Structure 1
């Protein structure tokens, strides 16, 4: 009896909580929204600012009694933001929809949501997250036998593989998908064109120009009747690139202008296509030594860039070409500005690329493990089973032997590098460094700058995180261009290499002599000697010494313990 009473009270409590919650939600919704339809509220959501969207979401949720309908409505909003290249907001609503659909066990809709999320991350150059969602979608598509979804996922995976430089793998995925596409309902559709575009891009990376033109022509023949503008723009751009590489300048410009005409006539806003076309048009004019025209196209690209676009390799190439153009017309200040931006972004881009490559490698290992497991579970004859197992074990043994050999070889090389490094440091500490300098410096201005640099070195100014060319030039009372030239002439280094050499040399000596300093984390050591990130410190340390900082510290500690 008591048990039934307890359940009864619990049901009443839940009912009362829901009633209170519903009442609170109702009080948040303005009266002006209570009479609106879901379609009208969706329209408000699409054109609202992010900070003002909460109230519309609450109103939409209150109107939708069915979670599946609400998930579809969120998907509609996400598609709007996706098409307008507002990927962060698109992903926000896709995630809300995914949360609802997971509870409903609607695998087909869930696969669609995963694919759209993967595409959004891909377009936003967040390769690692994109890879995760493509794999989730691919798992469902293969389980349910959905060829359409499998093709879309494989196309995205091919793009990521291409970005990571794994061109043969990317091409293999695309060719398999092309066979499936030509036998499916996607034949002669926009999806077919997208796949042909990816294949032509891979062949372009491999400098197989005849293959690029072959697949580009097939894609154009399909895209023109469909009036698929993006496909036509991208494929015409690729034909222009091939012509440019083959020194067919007139033909290249014809293709580029044809693509530009479609952009202008159709009012195309897709950033990827515009960035690509502007870059290669600028490249054409750079080769023709029409540097101001090249700069004009590159500045058109810069004007539409946002902070998140830094992940796009085409942005790095745009900055480099801008720097080169300004160098050619003698505008050193502008050239150095774009070189600095390029260097800053390169480290971030490489770090993201390395993480994605690691994930792809782990995926291959997992795939091999799954294949082995499937092999064990199959019903097969005893002899065939043993044969497979023997081959796999033999392969694993070869791989293990190879990695063990490489490991010991690396250890041996590292030990030799370390011994040479210690010998060099001991030598530097026992006598003054012999720095090659001109015997006589007649130019008083140069001498003053060099004296200023020596003073800053003695003060260890290079350990400051804000130590850069601009601040250093102020300290020695000269301009950035002049200081850069003096360092190049008298220190035989670029400014960045000069500062990095001082920092790494300081780190080597202090780590050798200061036990407490060795107990710091690599990140703390990096900050202590002027680097903003441990990745940057590790990169420069390894570049100068051939060793990782952690290895160097371990060996020093080991030497101390032995002593």
Structure 2
């Protein structure tokens, strides 16, 4: 479920009391004066008076305090106040500044769709808050980074952040508010759903519903109802799923006109009716989802496959125009870039999917244009179509056959026993006599090769991201020697040497570790030392001829 409005921002004055003695901080004094007033304009007036007094005294910290309250109670000039705080305190080390203003500006960028700028500002807020030991701002910045990770598809990364955030609030009640705790529980429940940790999702959803009812937080209660509906759909309890989703949707409509959430509700209601075998109602809600998405022009990756169902429906009616219309809508949604996409792998996937859709669209257009002509040539058309299908089937069979052979080869390689240390030392000695002279002393080569064997044997390559220089330093040698020895004795360059080790390690772990197979490709990539799913998949395919997703699917059933 999309969490566009969940950014945690601790400019709420009750959450920003100072716990550190830095300069002469009159924050609490100003807060007490402002909280006596009930109208925002009166609160802003007090802050402006306080600002003038602080400017006369050249009191930087308390000027910033005044601007902070003004940014909360004079929204028309909010951005100007935030920028003023940043300019004033950029090189200072105050408890809340400039961290809180980086966070404020990051939330503003996030809500306007500038995710890359938001990320940079969140990181600055996190770093400066950490230096100032301001746990409140540090955790809220990290929470917001978790939202960005969610949007980029890094569900596991987001889950870790939300779990840490909720645990911190539960263990540190002085930082816990109804606002932050309820949103933390929802974000955590949402992440459990999308990482398929359904038991933990159910526990967190129940806790969140109890908390939101107790605190009368109708917004989060409605979101959790929808999340509960998605959970019930995933465990095949379709009737309960429909009930929860309908109730959640009704509540959301009362206070939120962002139809992306309504689209999510309609999508999962449609999926639930499909699970019950009610095709008519399923298509009705899928069409409503399409209407919501067309209205908002907002991309929700988790539900975009609704167009697969809608195209299949149009195809069953032999409605070429409707099929093309759905393809055009999906292509339009896929082409929308929310002001810089965060995850490169996700972009590449989208481009690939878009190319496939364009190809299908072109085929359908040609078929539609020739439809009237082909009515008189049905037999010829069927023959051509049959030939095409046979060729596709042959291609698919050949590809499947080659993949199976490569898969079996990988499994057989795993069964081979590893050489013991004495065999490795003997092998190294033999290599030294066989290899050409590379202008490096033999004893140095032998030492480095033994250290490389230990490096490989202990799977150190999976523990951090190595460069040639960092590994050379770790092995107490220089990068020139190390590079030359790897090229000559391992027959690959340094980058491919590391990639091959990591791919072999991934194959070994996936063959023996059942729990690892349930991880996302991104999570597996990180476990074996790669930075992202794309580089892992590319290296895996380059070495084995198959993709990791294929290997995981078949190793589960082998």
For normalisation by structure 1, the TM-score amounts to 0.49
* Between structures 1 and 2, the one with greater helix share: 1
Q: Relative contact order (alpha carbons < 8 A, sep ≥ 6): 1 or 2 greater? A: 2
For normalisation by structure 2, the TM-score amounts to 0.49
